[in-house]
């Protein structure tokens, strides 16, 4: 069942005991150190207060206390106390833990009670719980001969939070990020570039989006040598650059927002082959393209009044007799000559031509997404993603957007003096340095060569794209990081004009 099939019922009042008795699973959120009046006003409040006072120790912020109610159904309650000034990441994490407390009973209906907070905090808590519930309910691939069955959540009742405008965005966001997570989870046998393109074509038909694909022959005509260098090692000539476009009824002539994504469906490392333990999970090297796709679909669902394009660089990085190799020199479609240093730095190669081709349409903003460098993970770990921009005045708004959305980012410098490490004696630039630190910064400097003059650009190095235990409100290994961040950035107009 898709997340948008889950119905939502909203009431600003508290539930009565009949409603409590009808629904099998409840989430209850109250302030830290709740006053006696809060317990009195809640149905079964005396029971909940007793359970709260008997807890073995003070729980960490947002950690759920799980108990059964003394009613005929034995309804299960997961309860958490929250500080009023809780950060969005912590709030989303608490919401994930609350939803997970009901995973074993697999309720088809779930009730949420938010009580004792101000209006703003109540709306934030309601949105976080909805996001966590939708994320947990999103279908993921299951290729076992006997797939695990689970009852699907069909309806969520939220009491105590007036309906905020944000809930419609939450549904759109979770549909987009759920799609990104699903695609990233598919094994490479189920998501080659050709299969990926067919899946996107079906989405384009379903959502009335314009789709155009630049295949190998078209890319040769455009002299996209950086992309073709990576693609030439594949036994199947199915690589290419896919462009998907949403055009609104009103505002069709406005400059587009362009979302560019790295779509390496499997990355062996090429001739510089990866060690075995780094090869596992490399079907997820296409997450940047999936985030671009999911974000476009979410914006289309929100019916934004400006065009949005997703440019997806789809390929595999194979080992073979025709694979590109270190010391090759290739020419990108903007005329830049590139000396190849390491074939496992293929992401920046396919993005180079994709950014250059995208720039020809003069979008008003380019955002690219890529699981690009291990050095970004080394720099900030897997709870944040790295961010770069050619607009230094955006640094603080970009950080703040991460803090408010709960998908946190940290900016890195993009100064020209880093180019010294990429100087080549035979070409315009090296693809990467032979060794040394700051590869994530050098990758961003390399990519900046292919962004059109004067076009605002943001580059997200998705160091937090995969977390085995989940991240924020998302419970799965692949988390679709970037969809929520981008929606908050664009729809809340957080960038200075």
Q: For residue 193, give the 3-state DSSP assignment.
A: helix
Q: Domain check: are 145 and 93 in the same one?
A: yes
Q: Domain check: are 192 and 149 in the same one?
A: no
Tell me if 60 is assigned to some domain. Answer: yes
How many angstroms separate the Cα of 448 from the Cα of each of 120, 291, 456, 483? 40, 20, 11, 22
Q: Which two tokens stand for residue 387?
A: 């961010």
Tell me how many degrees the CA angle 416-420-423 measures, rounded to the nearest 5. Answer: 120
Burial of 176 (0-12, 13-18, 19+ CB in 10 A): buried
In whole angstroms, give the CA distance from residue 359 to residue 363. 7
Final residue belonging to a domain, choices 140, 160, 180: 160
Q: Which residue, among 259, 212, 262, 265, has the nearest Cα to 236 in the 3D structure?
A: 265
Length in residues, the chain: 497
In whole angstroms, give the CA distance from residue 40 to residue 51. 14
Query: Within the chain, how many helices (H) and strands (E) appear?
Result: 16, 17
Q: Which two tokens stand for residue 59?
A: 């729980």
Q: At 26, which CATH number?
A: 3.40.220.10
Pairing outcome for strands 385-389 and 457-461? antiparallel
Q: Domain check: are 78 and 212 in the same one?
A: no
pLDDT for 2:
46
- Measured torsion, CA atoms of residues 347, 410, 164, 96, in degrees rounded to the nearest 10: 80
How many angstroms separate the Cα of 420 from the Cα of each of 339, 417, 423, 429, 433? 14, 6, 5, 10, 10
Tell me if 51 is assigned to some domain. Answer: yes
Q: Which two tokens stand for residue 60?
A: 């960490």
Q: Domain check: are 199 and 229 in the same one?
A: yes
Tell me if 434 is assigned to some domain. Answer: yes
Terminal-residue alpha carbon distance, the chain: 40
Q: At 224, which CATH number?
A: 3.40.630.10
pLDDT for 148:
82
Q: Where are the alpha helices (DSSP H) in 245-308?
A: 276-279, 287-301
How many angstroms separate the Cα of 268 from the Cα of each of 86, 283, 285, 403? 42, 10, 10, 35
Tell me if 114 is assigned to some domain. Answer: yes
Q: Domain check: are 221 and 98 in the same one?
A: no
Final residue belonging to a domain, choices 138, 160, 182: 160
Final residue belonging to a domain, choices 115, 130, 160: 160
Q: Are 440 and 373 in contact (CB under 8 A)?
A: yes
Q: Count of CB atoms within 10 A of residue 253's CB?
A: 8
Q: What is the pTM for the complete model shown? A: 0.96
pLDDT for 478:
97
In whole angstroms, give the CA distance from residue 397 to residue 385. 15
Q: How many domains does the chain have?
A: 2
Q: Where are the alpha helices (DSSP H) in 338-438?
A: 346-359, 374-380, 395-405
Q: For residue 367, give the 3-state DSSP assignment.
A: strand
Tell me if 67 is assigned to some domain. Answer: yes
Q: Domain check: are 24 and 50 in the same one?
A: yes
H/E stretch holding 317: strand 308-317
Q: Which two tokens stand for residue 128?
A: 């976080």
Q: Domain check: are 136 and 211 in the same one?
A: no
Tell me if 166 is assigned to some domain. Answer: no
Q: Domain check: are 230 and 321 in the same one?
A: yes
Q: Domain check: are 288 and 147 in the same one?
A: no
Q: Domain check: are 194 and 141 in the same one?
A: no
Q: Domain check: are 113 and 215 in the same one?
A: no
In whole angstroms, give the CA distance from residue 129 to residue 301. 21
Residue 30 domain boundaries: 3-160
Q: Which residues are catalytic?
A: 274, 348
In whole angstroms, give the CA distance from residue 196 to residue 310. 14
Q: Domain check: are 202 and 248 in the same one?
A: yes
In whole angstroms, give the CA distance from residue 368 to residue 349. 13
Q: Which residue, among 123, 184, 203, 141, has the nearest Cα to 483 in the 3D structure?
A: 184
Tell me if 167 is assigned to some domain. Answer: no
Tell me if 261 is assigned to some domain. Answer: yes
Q: Are 211 and 244 in contact (CB under 8 A)?
A: yes
Q: Which residue, among 423, 262, 289, 256, has the nearest Cα to 352 in the 3D structure?
A: 262
φ/ψ of residue 119, rounded to 5:
-60, -45
Q: What is the pLDDT along the chain (497 residues), one digit of tens a residue?
A: 345 579 999 988 999 988 999 999 999 999 988 899 999 999 999 999 998 888 776 556 567 889 999 887 889 999 999 998 999 999 999 999 999 999 999 999 999 999 999 989 999 999 999 999 999 999 999 999 888 888 889 999 999 886 667 799 999 999 999 999 999 999 999 999 999 999 999 999 999 999 999 999 999 999 999 999 999 999 999 999 999 999 999 888 899 999 999 999 999 999 999 999 999 999 999 999 999 999 999 999 999 999 999 999 999 999 999 999 999 999 999 999 999 999 999 999 999 999 999 999 999 999 999 999 999 999 999 999 999 999 999 999 999 999 999 999 999 999 999 999 999 999 999 999 999 899 999 999 999 999 999 999 999 999 999 999 999 999 999 999 999 999 999 999 999 87
């Amino acid at each position: 069942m898709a997340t948008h099939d889950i119905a939502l019922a909203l009431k600003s009042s508290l539930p009565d005991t009949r409603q409590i008795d009808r629904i099998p699973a409840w989430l209850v959120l109250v302030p830290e150190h709740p006053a006696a009046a809060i317990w009195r006003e809640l149905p079964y409040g005396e029971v909940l207060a007793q359970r709260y006072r008997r807890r073995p120790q003070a729980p960490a912020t947002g950690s759920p206390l799980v108990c059964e109610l003394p009613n005929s159904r034995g309804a299960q309650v997961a309860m958490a106390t929250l500080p009023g000034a809780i950060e969005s990441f912590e709030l989303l994490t608490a919401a994930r833990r609350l939803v997970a407390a009901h995973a074993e009973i697999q309720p088809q209906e779930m009730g949420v009670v938010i009580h004792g907070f101000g209006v703003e905090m109540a709306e934030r808590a309601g949105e976080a719980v909805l996001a966590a519930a939708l994320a947990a309910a999103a279908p993921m691939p299951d290729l076992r001969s006997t797939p695990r069955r689970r009852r699907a959540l069909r309806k969520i009742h939220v009491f105590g939070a007036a309906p905020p405008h944000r809930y419609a965005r939450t549904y759109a966001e979770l549909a987009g990020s759920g799609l990104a997570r699903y695609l990233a989870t598919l094994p490479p046998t189920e998501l080659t570039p050709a299969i990926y393109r067919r899946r996107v074509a079906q989405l384009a038909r379903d959502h009335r989006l314009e789709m155009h694909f630049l295949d190998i022959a078209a890319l040769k005509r455009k002299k996209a040598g950086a992309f073709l260098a990576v693609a030439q090692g594949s036994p199947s000539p199915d690589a290419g650059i896919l462009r998907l476009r949403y055009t609104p009824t009103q505002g069709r002539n406005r400059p587009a927002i362009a979302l560019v994504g790295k779509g390496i469906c499997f990355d062996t490392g090429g001739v510089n082959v990866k060690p075995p333990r780094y090869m596992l999970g490399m079907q997820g090297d296409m997450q940047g393209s999936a985030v671009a796709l999911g974000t476009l679909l979410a914006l289309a669902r929100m019916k934004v009044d400006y065009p949005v394009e997703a440019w997806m660089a789809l390929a595999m990085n194979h080992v073979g007799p025709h694979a590109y190799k270190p010391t090759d020199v290739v020419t990108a479609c903007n005329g830049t000559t590139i000396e190849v240093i390491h074939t496992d730095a293929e992401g920046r190669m396919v993005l180079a031509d994709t950014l250059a081709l995208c720039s020809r349409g003069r979008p008003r903003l380019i955002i690219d997404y890529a699981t690009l460098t291990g050095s970004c993970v080394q720099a900030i770990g897997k709870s944040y993603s790295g961010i770069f921009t050619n607009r230094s005045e955006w640094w603080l708004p970009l950080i703040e957007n991460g803090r408010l959305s709960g998908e946190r980012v940290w900016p890195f410098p993009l100064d020209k003096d880093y180019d010294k490490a990429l100087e080549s004696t035979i070409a315009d630039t090296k693809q990467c340095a032979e060794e040394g630190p700051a590869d994530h910064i050098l990758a961003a400097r390399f990519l900046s060569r292919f962004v059109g003059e004067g076009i605002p650009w943001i580059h997200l190095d998705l160091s937090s794209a995969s977390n085995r235990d989940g991240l924020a409100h998302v419970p799965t290994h692949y988390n679709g990081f970037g969809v929520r961040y981008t929606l908050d950035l664009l729809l809340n107009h957080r960038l200075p004009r």
